[in-house]
Amino acid sequence: MKLSAHEIEHRQAAFLELLRDKGLKVTQQRLVIFRAMQESHGHLTAEQVHDAVQADNPSLSLSTVYATLETLVQIGALAEITMDDGRKLFDRTTSAHHHFVDLDSGTVSDLEDSEAIRLDLKALARKGYVIEKARVTVYGRARRH
């Protein structure tokens, strides 16, 4: 899902504040990479982020992009997910959410709240566990006509 220009500006302002809170410098590469994530469909590999910023920032290497993404994950500006096929994706949505994978295109999207899966985790609670994270991935294909 694409974000509106207004939403992207809002997120960027919050990101600048987060960098300052964490005592990190506001660098061009951090801004460019954060923005590329917000302007994307939401879930990208480091290579895809690198491709997205190449045209305007030819000096940004893949290893710099990767290191910057990892920093942004550490401060909570992005999330990181590993798919069953081994792909490591960076996710611009950091709150707990579930995913849908289109098996034909490999595209990963967030399941909206209305479609969210309600998990009944009482059995685990009874066993004495405190749930920290529950993430479901749904796989499917577009119906053929």
Size of the residue set binding Zn ion (CB under 5 A): 3
Nearer CB in complex with Zn ion: 64/109: 109
Residue 89, number of CB atoms within 10 A of its CB: 17
Rounded to the nearest whole angstrom, what is the least distance from the CB of residue 94 to Zn ion in the complex? 9
| Least distance (Å) between residue 20 CB and Zn ion | 26
Q: Where are the alpha helices (DSSP H) in 55-132?
A: 62-74, 122-126
The yes or no reply on residue 93 touching Zn ion (CB under 5 A) is yes
Q: Show the tokens assigned to 50.
A: 């690198």
Q: Which stretch binds Zn ion (CB under 5 A): 21-29, 53-61, 84-92, 117-125?
A: 84-92
**Does position 37 bind Zn ion by CB under 5 A?**
no
- Residue 91 binds Zn ion (CB under 5 A): yes
CB of 108 to Zn ion, least distance (A): 7
Rounded Cα distance, 67 and 125, in Å: 37
Least distance CB 78 / Zn ion (angstroms): 10
Q: Select 60 or 91, whichever has its Cβ closest to Zn ion.
A: 91
Spatial separation of the C-alpha atoms in residues 17 and 52, rounded to whole Å: 24
Q: How far is CA 41 from CA 44, 75, 76, 90, 126, in A?
A: 8, 21, 19, 11, 39
The reply on whether position 29 binds Zn ion by CB under 5 A is no
Residue span 95-114 as binding mask against Zn ion, x where in contact by CB under 5 A, dash where not: ---------------x----
Consecutive H or E run containing 51? helix 46-54
